[in-house]
Amino acid sequence: MQVSQTIAAKTVAQVLAGKNLTLALESALRSYADATPQQRAVAQDLSYGTLRFYGELDAMLTCLLEKPLQDVNVECLLLVAIYQLNHDKAASHTVVDQAVNAASHHKKSWVKGLVNGVLRNFLRQHEVLKQKALENEVARYSYPEWWINKVKKQYPADWQAILETGNQHPPMTLRINQRKTNPQAYFDQLVEQEISFDRLGEYAFKLAKPVSVDKVPGFTTGEVSVQDYGAQCAAYLLDAKEGMRVLDACCAPGGKTGHILELAEVQMVAIDSDAQRLQRTESNLDRLGLHATLATGDAAEPKVWWDGKTFDRILADVPCTASGIVRRHVDIKWLRREADVGSFVKQQALILPALWQLLAKGGKLLYVTCSIFHEENQQQIDRFLKANADAEQLPLERLQSTNSGPINLHHGQLHPCAEHDGFFYALLQKN
């Protein structure tokens, strides 16, 4: 556990300094090449958990310190340990002992005593600290104040549920490749391997507990993909038909690209501005046994990569704050700044009209974000419709979920919940 705590502390420190969580964890793990697979897995869990509840943990630690710590690594070691004491199932004495042992390697001798004292005080004052955390919204909900205020204003009836959902572990949902298997055959595979699941619609299965992809039946052979149920709406809403020419802009890592191709044999062109991420699209399509014309390109600058032929359908899965998938990317809420919302809005406002010029008359463009912020969603669409007389926003079909009834798109906005993440959809037709 000591190694895992240290790796997690280094990871959290890098994220709080502005680094992406995935890159930060990879960097921290490289420093501990001898760490066992179990230690690495625990380190990842501790990193995610600490950042998920950072607002709460930081408030508690502040109460336990006489003055702010000047050493970020010591501070993050304490945050990780407090996360374990407050949320993990590990024995409290083991957590404290291992954290003290980790602190003993610090070049300053007083650090060991500080860590020991702070954590033992935490155990003594645990209930009092929990009550204090409820008094402060940043601590209570573990989001920055600007984020809380924005969700409050935009979702006055649902803001608490939305914030709390974002702090839960995300579901693992599978999508059937209809070209390689069928729901009943895959149902039987899951039952045979004693993997518990719930059905979400006809072609989606939500696992009761996440498993590694190598343990997902049929994953390596392309019978199934891992894709959030909310994201699976895209291919259905786009309504691509056989033989159509389709563009998937901002396609990486290719989940929606593959789903569209599973549903219909179309002429697929898929672009992304990140060449490395585009390779993931290619490998995903290879695994599924599907093909698309792939190109590196900026969706806002089609003249660089477009061949001049219009598209019948365009999927515009635009860059956004990713505020609807924060439970999968727990670093986002601490890395994003309020000004970033406006930056993404400007980027989206360049992409949407650029792609609109590529759409054939009578064609449809599906605008998608994984955001819950209105500025990136319906407000963006409203501005576009006002500026483009040939654009019409179409009503969205209700999508059936076997267990809970129809998915409620809230006029295009899919709220994050137990079954799926938060997405926004707007289907536009060129008249």
**Dist. CA 338–CA 351, nearest whole Å:** 21
Return the closest-CA partner of residue 317 out of 353, 369, 352, 364.
Answer: 369
pLDDT at 400: 54
| CA Rg value for the chain | 23
Contact residues for 66 (Cβ-Cβ < 8 A; gap 6+):
none
pLDDT by residue (tens digit) across 40-91? 999 999 999 999 999 999 999 999 998 999 899 999 999 999 999 999 888 9
Q: Is 370 designated active site?
A: yes
**Judging by DSSP bridges, how do beta strands 423-430 and 293-296 pair with one another?**
unpaired
User: Which two structure tokens, joined as six digits, stand for 168?
Assistant: 């839960």
| Cβ–Cβ under 8 Å, residues 21 and 15 | yes
Render 334-379 in DSSP notation, one character per residue: HH--HHHHHHHHHHHHHHHHHHHTTEEEEEEEEEEES---GGGTHH
Catalytic-labelled residue, pool 251, 320, 370, 417: 370
**Dist. CA 249–CA 295, nearest whole Å:** 10
| Cβ–Cβ under 8 Å, residues 223 and 186 | yes
Return the closest-CA partner of residue 347 out of 245, 249, 227.
Answer: 249
Q: Which domains does the chain have, with CATH numbers?
A: 2-140 (1.10.940.10), 172-226 (3.30.70.1170), 234-430 (3.40.50.150)
| Cβ–Cβ under 8 Å, residues 363 and 310 | yes
pLDDT values of the chain reduced to their tens digit, one per residue, 431 residues:
789 999 999 999 999 999 999 999 999 999 999 999 999 999 999 999 999 999 999 999 999 998 999 899 999 999 999 999 999 888 999 999 999 999 988 878 889 999 999 999 999 999 999 998 889 999 999 999 999 999 999 999 999 999 999 999 999 999 999 999 999 999 999 999 999 999 998 899 999 999 999 999 999 999 999 999 999 999 999 999 999 999 999 999 999 999 999 999 999 999 999 999 999 999 999 999 999 999 999 999 999 999 999 999 999 999 999 999 999 999 999 999 999 999 999 999 999 999 999 999 999 999 999 999 999 999 999 999 999 999 999 998 766 554 445 576 668 999 999 999 999 999 999 99
| Cβ–Cβ under 8 Å, residues 356 and 394 | no
pLDDT by residue (tens digit) across 231-243? 999 999 999 999 9
User: Which two structure tokens, joined as six digits, stand for 361?
Assistant: 């008359």
pTM of the model: 0.94
pLDDT at 134: 87
pLDDT at 107: 79
pLDDT at 399: 62
pLDDT at 1: 73
**Judging by DSSP bridges, how do beta strands 311-317 and 359-369 pair with one another?**
parallel
Ordered alpha helix ranges (H), 155-289: 159-165, 183-192, 233-238, 255-263, 275-288
